[in-house]
Structure 1
């Protein structure tokens, strides 16, 4: 009897202790998320009153590619900027872009390739949607675009990220098994890509997109419309478990996420800075007071925070320290 009482006592104490520990951990996590400080990336040059999104930073952190959208996502052009004297230079149109719907730039880990998606025509008649292309670095800048072998098929590929071992995560709305936008993975084995598979633990009945894996493979960032979010699309981070699956997602909180669209998470080569896109409004855009002055109305539209996409960044050092425990 004494042994039973003792066992019950230990069990109760253990439950209470674990609950208190989880509560303390949750409070610490909330504190870290609430102290995050986002920064608009170079207002007036990179982030303007136009439509900018989808960033990629080169491994040496001296080059940035991003997307300029015309009429939203209907016409998209790849542009680039160089880091000079502490600032990003005036963007230029990539020599291989400007005609087709080019999106999702992504530097290879060695900086020798730039991947992107495009609806440009190819010699393969079955490739009728958005496919994965790449250009290679050369003495003159970049080569002519080439299709990535073994991964493209009749289904779309968007928002690809490529790990050091060649593994590709991407999103598709049309591929069999996808619902409202799902994340797939294809691995490079013996020079050939495996058949894309759903990453089940990342996908929900809602749209899940824009996968980004940290260079050490420990963390995955996505944007999602799943329940419990703050708005249209929210950014989440997942930690890889010992069994190789991704754990429960952590919403990055109201400092990073808004009631609008927050998407395109990309980690800078420093491993701690997250770049992302958002169409959040400033106070003028969300203020419910009545417009009476036409010039004020025009100023609201011409401002950077006018409801079009912009590029932001946030230092996640403390969050990574917490998640790495």
Structure 2
């Protein structure tokens, strides 16, 4: 919406481990509010917020939902606007998210999703991936 701004930044909470957090500011009575942690962020690292064109879906990367025995990796998630609130975060399909890192989502006008990832095609290196939005689902990158 035109009266909100979302962004992410690094911080060091009390445990001194770096964490990426998403923030929001709202325009109220012609003035911007004090930044607040986005309602779906703040527990684990979440960043790179990007809206779809309608403004009712927000994509981001997150380290949530990691197996405790694994090194936490970013995956692509989204939330959907429900009135003035947001849905619980939803992890995008396994065709996009793997056991490797995914980050930096960018949503094109046609809803194709571009993002950074580590894949079998480029072991140990980052690559730019694209997944097409076809009939309401995302294709394999």
TM-score (normalised: structure 2): 0.80
CA distance in 2, matches of 1:87, 1:159: 30
Structure 2: give runs of 5+ residues left out of the alignment. Answer: none
Structure 1: give runs of 5+ residues left out of the alignment. Answer: 1-59, 197-325
Question: 2:2 aligned with 1:61, yes or no?
Answer: yes
CA distance in 2, matches of 1:114, 1:192: 16
| Counterpart residue number, 1:153 | 98
Q: Is the 8 A contact 2:52 2:111 kept in 1?
A: no
CA distance in 2, matches of 1:183, 1:163: 14
Q: Is the 8 A contact 2:9 2:47 kept in 1?
A: no
Question: 2:78 aligned with 1:116, yes or no?
Answer: no
Greater alpha carbon shift after TM alignment, 133-142 vs 99-108: 133-142
Aligned residue among 8, 24, 27 for 1:80: 24
| Counterpart residue number, 1:137 | 81
SS of the aligned residue for 2:54 comes to coil
SS of the aligned residue for 2:24 comes to strand
User: 1:170 Cα deviation (Å)?
Assistant: 0.6
Once the two structures are superposed, the pairs formed by residues 136-285 of structure 1 within 5 Å of their partners are 136-149=80-93, 150-172=95-117, 174-178=118-122, 180-196=125-141
- 1:90-119 Cα offsets, whole Å, 9 max, x none, are 111111111101111111110111111101
User: 1:140 Cα deviation (Å)?
Assistant: 4.3
Tell me which protein shows more strand as a share of its residues. Answer: 2
SS of the aligned residue for 1:109 comes to coil
CA distance in 2, matches of 1:81, 1:191: 31
Structure number, greater radius of gyration: 1
CA distance in 2, matches of 1:82, 1:115: 19
Q: Is the 8 A contact 2:49 2:60 kept in 1?
A: yes
User: 1:190 Cα deviation (Å)?
Assistant: 3.0
- 1:194-227 Cα offsets, whole Å, 9 max, x none, are 221xxxxxxxxxxxxxxxxxxxxxxxxxxxxxxx
Structure 1 pair 136/122, CA: closer, same or farther in 2 (3 Å)?
farther
CA distance in 2, matches of 1:181, 1:87: 40
User: 1:87 Cα deviation (Å)?
Assistant: 4.0
The structure with higher relative contact order (CA 8 Å, sep 6+) is 1
Aligned length: 134
| Counterpart residue number, 1:35 | none
